[in-house]
Amino acid sequence: MKTLRYTFWQDGNFFIGFLNDYPDYETQGYSKDELIENLKSLLADIESDEVPFIKKVEELVIA
């Protein structure tokens, strides 16, 4: 099992969101549950290399 953070908001009748590791790729749903399913589907597409030119956010630790 893996845990990913996501950001979402409601705009009218839609819940819109993105995976925090992939902020350039948004998806939406009519409910929060549908949004979560669409985020899982998006992640599967990203991890299977179906989406080209993936930008990823990571942390840089400087000592």
Taking a C-beta distance cutoff of 8 angstroms, is the pair 24, 53 a contact? no
Q: What is the pLDDT of residue 7?
A: 98
User: What residues pair up with 15 in beta bridges, in sequence order?
Assistant: 10, 29
Q: What is the pLDDT of residue 1?
A: 87
| Measured distance CA(63)–CA(56) in Å, rounded | 22
Each residue's pLDDT, cut to its tens digit, for the chain (63 residues) gives 889 999 999 999 999 999 999 999 999 999 999 999 999 999 999 999 888 889 888 889 999
Q: What is the pLDDT of residue 12?
A: 97
Number of domains in the chain: 1
A 10 A CB-CB count for 51 gives 13
* Range(s) of the domain holding residue 47: 1-63
12, two tokens = 């009218």
**pTM reported for the whole predicted model:** 0.84
One-letter amino acid of 22? Y
Q: What is the pLDDT of residue 56?
A: 83
